[in-house]
Each structure stands twice: as structure tokens, then as C-alpha cells.
Structure 1
Amino acid sequence: MTTTEPTKAPLLIDSQYLLGTLEAAQELEIDIGEVLDQCGIPKRLLIEPEGFLSFTKVARFLDKVAKEFDCPQFGFLVGKHQPPFSLGLLSQVIKLSPNLGSALSCIDKYIPLYSQAATWGLQTLDGKVALTRRDRAGRKESGVQSRNLTMVQAFKAFKVLCGPQWTPSAIYFAHRPLGNTLTYERYFNAPVYFDREYDAIVFPEEDLKHPIATADAVLLEIVQSHLSSLLGGYKPNDDIVTKVRYHIRCRLGTRTCNLESISQLLAVSPRSLQRMLAKHQFTFKSLLTSVRQEVAIEYLRDSHISLIDLAEMLGYQNVSAFSRAFKNNVGMAPDHWRKTQS
């Protein structure tokens, strides 16, 4: 994938990654306020996530809480308390895939659009399959708590795709054991091994064929085409409008599709970004509206996607908000416009 930002820019992570932190702290009866201040993380982001945080800062915060309060499984507990994690269009692709194997292949292909911290892949292990996670930094003992959190997220995603009765064959962690290992085995309902080469969820190879109830081959092809067009990134000398439009398309339907978040990705302040866009006679809002309209037209013209799903994909609160915006720009409601194309 083409590098889209300066290499000196810090790795960023969606601030919703820390949802569940307050609940975990409450369960442990600890006050994490001072550690949040020391790590420069506003407490409000644990309640209402907004924008991105430095991944290094987040990993340091989780490790610091675990050490200072002697709770070596803190990241694991945060993951248990987290709501489902949305990845915008990638979440749509996963739900539209015909089976688990196809969904995991999509994650392997498109995750670079959404996560810079680690790489994921599939590996065969003696008749079983492992979904592996490797730190880009390649270090086993730093950021242990964040890695625990991420593995719980992945496990929850399997449960959504395969049903609540699904269980893995084993769980691997690259780090040393933390606390009472029986806690992990009870939660994952599987053997848990430590000091492995990588973090992984291991499961029977036949599970790759597990069908996904929400599969839709026609719509899947369209969404995959959309995501594939984004994999190349943009060239460093592209103008600011092209860069902003790229990031908007990547993040449609997520919490980070806004001026503040995309400013962070471009390493400028929101005010500076607005000034840069103004030189091209654009505002962030006008670009967001334009991209949403383009994508809406593509899906209404080329697929049978429901207005509910399309509104969610585009990041509108509901169908009514989407319909009003579409009508303001095109002159007719989206369902009426679709009929004219038929």
C-alpha cells in the first residue's frame, strides 16, 4: 500500500479503542484519572470518543494502569467491556461475505486502510487455521495490554460472525503469562498458550466454510471494488482536496469521518486544513457532502442496497437524514431517483 502520510507521523488509533476502560476500572475499583492525565488522554474520550489518539500513548496508558494498580489483565478486562467495534466499509464487507474464510481474507486485504499498529494474516497449522496478529514494531513485551484488548475484540468478532456457540481450538499470545491464566481459558473457552511467535486465534479449518447469514454477493462485489480503489492511497504531491476526499471515502460510516479526525491524519490543525481547502474554493463540509453524494449515486445505481444500509454506510444518523441530504443535492428522494435509473 502506498504510504499516504509522512513516515515521522505517529501511528494513530481511533479513540473508540478505549471504550470499556471506565467500566474495567470500576470493576477493579481503581481510579485511573491520574494516569490519564500523565499520559495526556482526556477522560471525556473514554465516554464520547472523538478523533484519533497516538497508538504509543494508548499502549503506554494501558500498560501503566496495569503496572501501577497491579492488575496484569487490565487490557483483557477493557476488551470484555467494549461494545462492537465498527470499521466502516470493512465492517460491511465482512457482513456481506459468503463465509468466514472470505470475511477473514477481506480483513487481511483491507485492514491497512483502518489500522497501522499491526498486521493480520491466516496461517495453516496441522489441519487448523490461525488468524495471526503481529506487532509492526515487532516487540513482544511492550504494549501487552493493548494486544490483549485487540485479541478480545477479534474473538468477539468471531462470535458475531459464527454465532454465540462458536469456540476456538486455542488462543496464542506472544507475551509471557499475565496473572491467573484460568481467567483467559474460562473467557475464551479454549486452551490459552503464551510465549508464542505471534498472537493468534486458532480454529478448525472447516470453520472457514461457516456461512454468514447477511451475505450478499452482488453488493459485496461493489463494496470490495470501492475499498480496492482506496488501497493505493494517494501520491505525496497530490493536492489537499484529493487527500481529504481520499480520507473521507476511507472513513465513511465511522466516528472519524469529520474535520478534526482527518486533520489529525494529515498532521495539520482543523483551522489550517480549512484554510488550505478554501484556497481551492472548498470547505470540509462541502467535500463531505460531495463524496457522500457520489457514493450514494454509485450504490443506488449499481446495487439493490436498502436505504437503511446505505444511510449507515454513508454515516447518516438515519434514513430520513440521508433522504433529506440526497434530495437537497439531487432534487428528488433517493428511492425515486433509483426508479428513474431503472
Structure 2
Amino acid sequence: MFIVTECAEESILTIGKARQADWQQTTDGRGSLSCAYVRGLAEYLEQSGIDVADFWQHFGFDPASMDDQTQRLPIAQYDAMLSEAGKRAKDAAVGLHVGEHIKPGQYGVLGYVVMSCKTGREVFERHMRYENLVSDRAVSTYHIEDDRVRLTWSMNGVKPSRAMAEENVASWITYARWIGAKQLSPIQVRFCHSEPPYVEEYQRLFDCSLAFDCECTEVIFPLDYLDMPVVQHDPVMLDMMDAYAERLLSEFGQREGVLGDVRRHLTELLPKGEATLEAVASEMACSPRTLQRRLSEADSNFQSVLDDTRKDLAQHYIGQPFIDPIEIAFLLGFADQSTFYRAFKRWMGMTPGQYRERN
């Protein structure tokens, strides 16, 4: 969606170390964004006449990190940045306004991958494959229902603020218009939060039916958008960017460590009913004993990671009202629905139905 003086650099980085530790605690050490994603906010700050250097210093953020594909910042820090930017600009709709000025670079390599795709369908598929390069808590899914496509977004256990949800959806639609369908208008956009007082800005930007206080954040498109041609399609560039994205995904996984590796393999193996220590060890090209040792060194064990992965995925799936609990039980690798219900009640203190109703 995207100056400090030399004498200020040291103080900014010193503040940054302390603040980063605070943000990391807030997000439980698991929620992060690519620093490239901050470029849209940087552009918004400049256009709004906000003192950019002072803003970065306030958050201990090094703007040079926006040019490094490997640098991350906690989601809580970016959320606080959005909030502060809105206050300084006196702009309640800051999320919408940051999102509508998206540029390819804000999504990093993902932006250039989707720009090189052939059709809307390829864009959806690449987005879901590589979205963790932008946010490691993002979970996007798309479902085809009759003559429409439902693109659903969540942050997998982290409740997004109104501004972050607005920015995410605004950037999706703006980027889709930029790469292929300039007149693209969704059928409907749905948000979890209540209707804000500036709903006319939603209407101006999205030009479609709106719904608030919904069970999930989603954009509903006509089915034929999947066949929409991408005007910048470049098969050679797509191959190059795919390879680069795969390498970054692998490096990102290595930085996450063994816990991240195990979670990713479990996510793939659970629907197959193969989420065992032996199966995961095989995927990671090591013995079960070696995997157990590595997990122990990370102060964890296989059963704990399995439970945490199932719990996170369960919360995400329950948040999608069109996914039946029986299907969720299957996706999580449970033998039957009753076993899933017992596990969910143990995790959340309530049944899946009660959780879905409350959230």
C-alpha cells in the first residue's frame, strides 16, 4: 500500500530496542509485519504534513528498514503507528486513507509476484501462499459460492483494530483495481466492527453494499473476477519472483525456528489425518528423536505445538460462519465432531457454537 538526521539515528535505535521489547510482549512474540509494509504509512505521513522524523523517533522505528525485505516489526507496533498517525492528522478514517494509496512495494516481493500473474485466480492463490511474508498472523481464504467468491481475512488469534481491518480491505481493492480491473466493484464488503461515523468514505472507496458487526472480515466478488486478466502479466518475471518468494519464505521459516517449521507442516498434515511426530519429522528430514530434542531445546514438545496449532486454526475456522463444524473437525484432523467439541471447550471454556455466537 509506501529521514532521519545522522545525529538522531543513535537515539532512535536506542529507543527502538526498548520499545521493540514492549511491543514483542504485547503480541506474544508471534505477530509481525514486513517493514516494507510501513511504506504506505510513510507516504500518508508526508502527504498529511506530519513531521516524519519525529514520528519515527516516537516509535523507535528505523525508516531504513523499509528497504530490507527481511526486517520485521510487531503487529502491535504498527497498529499503534496507525492510531497515532490518525490522531496527528485528525483523521478518523486513517486506515482507509493509508490503504487506498497502496503501491506494489508495500507488499514487498508479494506485490511483484501478484502483479506478474496471469489471472485473478493466480493472484488469489499466490496471495495466500506468500502472505506470511507480509504478516505472519494473516490468514486469507477464498471460497466459491454459486456466482461469487468470498475472500475472507483474519489475523489468526490477534483481533485487528478497526484501522488495520480498514487498511487491509482498502489495499486489497485498490491493488486489484490497479493490476487489472480499474472499475472493479465488489458485491459487498463486510467488517467485524460497528459502522463508523464516516461511512460515506467506505462508500466512496468501495462503491458497493456494506455490512458491519459481521462475524468475519471479507470481500465478496463476482465469480468472473477469477478470470480477470492482469494487465502487467509477465511469465518470465513471475518465475523469477516466485523463486525469490520461495527463498524468502524458507529463510523466514528458518528465522522462526523449529516451532514455526512444525506449525507449518502440521497445518498441511492435519486435514490428511497425518499430523504425527513421525510424519512431521519425515517432512523436516530428521528422525523423530532429533525433532523431539530440538523441540525440547525450544522449551516445547510435539503435543504442545500440535495443541497450539489446532487451537489457533480452530479460532480462525470458527470465525468463518460458512464453514460447518463437521468440516472444521476434519480440517483439524479430529476423528469426529464430538472429539473436536471436547477439545475446543477445553481450550476456550465454551463450545464452538457459543464461541461463534460471541465473536
Query: TM-score with structure 2 length normalisation?
Result: 0.52
**Secondary structure at 1:85's aligned position in 2?**
helix
Partners of 1:82 and 1:108 lie apart in 2 by 18
Q: Is 1:147 aligned to residue 159 of structure 2? A: no
Tell me the equivalent position of 1:115. Answer: 135
Match of 1:184 among 196, 202, 210: 202
Instruction: Look up the match of 2:123.
Output: 103
What is the number of equivalent residue pairs in this alignment?
A: 229
Q: Give the C-alpha shift of residue 134 in structure 1.
A: 0.6
What residue identity is the alignment partner of 2:216? Y
Structure 1 segment 207-286 matched on structure 2, within 5 A: 207-215=225-233, 220=238, 224=242, 227=245, 233-234=253-254
CA contact (8 A) 1:15 1:45 kept: no
Counterpart amino acid of 1:150? N
- 2:240 pairs with 1:204: no
In the aligned structure 2, how far is the partner of 1:15 from the partner of 1:88? 9
- Distance in 2 between the 1:225 and 1:21 partners? 28
Is contact 1:32–1:65 with CA below 8 Å preserved after alignment? no
Distance 2:46 2:237 in 1: 42
Does 1:171 pair with 2:189?
yes
Partner residue of 2:153?
A: 133
Do the aligned partners of 1:181 and 1:192 also contact (CA within 8 Å) in 2?
A: no
Aligned residue identity for 1:160: W
Q: CA deviation at 1:63?
A: 2.6
> Is the Cα contact below 8 Å between 1:18 and 1:78 reproduced in 2?
no
Q: CA deviation at 1:138?
A: 4.1
Spell out, residue by residue over 1:139-182, the C-alpha distance to the aligned partner (whole angstroms, 9 max, x if none): 2xx53212222222211221123231222222222212223101
- Unaligned runs of at least 5 residues, structure 1: 1-6, 239-342
Q: CA deviation at 1:70?
A: 5.7
Aligned to 1:157: 175
Shift of the alpha carbon at 1:88? 4.9
Structure with the largest fraction of helix? 2
Query: How much does 1:55 deviate?
Result: 1.7
Q: 1:75 to 1:207 in 2, by over 3 A?
A: same
The answer for the alignment partner of 1:21 in structure 2 is 41
Question: What is the CA distance between 1:57 and its match in structure 2?
Answer: 0.8
After TM superposition, the structure 1 stretch with the greater mean CA deviation from structure 2, 212-221 or 188-197, is 212-221
Is the partner of 1:122 in helix, strand or coil? strand
Question: What's the C-alpha RMSD, in Å, of the aligned pairs?
Answer: 3.8
SS at match of 1:19: helix
Secondary structure of the residue aligned to 2:105 is coil
| Cα distance in 1 for residues equivalent to 2:147 and 2:47 | 39
How far did residue 137 of structure 1 move?
2.6
CA apart distance, 1:66: 3.8
| Structure 1 residue 229 displacement after superposition | 6.9
Mapping 1:51-70, distance limit 5 Å: 51-66=71-86
For residues 236 and 45 of structure 2, the distance between their equivalents in structure 1, rounded to whole angstroms, comes to 45
Q: Compared with structure 1, are the counterparts of its residues 36 and 208 closer, same or farther at alpha carbon in structure 2 (3 Å cutoff)?
A: same
Q: For 1:77-98, what per-residue CA distance to the aligned partner results, in whole angstroms no more than 9, with x for missing partners?
A: 2223443335454344423433
C-alpha separation in 2, matches of 1:217 and 1:59: 36
Tell me the amino acid that sits aligned with residue 157 of structure 2.
A
The structure 1 residue matched to 2:99, chosen from 79, 91, 116, is 79
Cα contact 2:137–2:158 (8 A) shared by 1 = no
Given residue 145 of structure 1, which amino acid in structure 2 is its aligned partner?
A
Contact 2:118–2:229 (CA<8 Å) still a contact in 1? yes
Deviations 1:19-59 (A, max 9, x none): 343654576676788775554345x569x756432221111
CA contact 2:85–2:94 (8 Å) conserved in 1: yes
Q: Which moved more, 1:21-30 or 1:180-189?
A: 21-30
Contact 2:191 2:213 in 1 (8 A): yes
Amino acid at match of 1:77: H
Structure 1 residue 14: Cα displacement: 2.6
Letter in 1 for 2:200: L
Superposition TM-score, scaled by structure 1 size: 0.54
Residue deviations 1:171-199 (CA, integer Å, cap 9, x gap): 22221222310111111222222222222
Amino acid in structure 1 at the alignment position of 2:136? Q
**SS where residue 115 of structure 1 aligns?**
coil
* d(CA) in 1 for partners of 2:173, 2:187: 12
2:114 corresponding residue in structure 1: 94
Q: Which moved more, 1:178-187 or 1:206-215?
A: 206-215
**Per the alignment, do residues 213 and 19 of structure 1 end up closer, same or farther by CA in structure 2, a change over 3 Å counting?**
closer
The 1:31/1:127 distance shift into structure 2, 3 A limit, reads same
1:76 Cα offset (Å):
1.4
Rate the CA distance shift 1:60–1:223 in 2: closer, same or farther, 3 A. Answer: closer
List aligned pairs for 1:29-44, cutoff 5 A.
Answer: 37-41=57-61, 44=63
The 1:107–1:184 alpha-carbon spacing in structure 2 relative to 1, beyond 3 Å, is same
Matched residue of 2:165: which SS?
Answer: helix
Change (3 A) 1:123 1:24: same
Greater relative contact order (CA < 8 Å, ≥ 6 in sequence): 1
C-alpha contact 2:37 2:106 (8 A) present in aligned 1: no
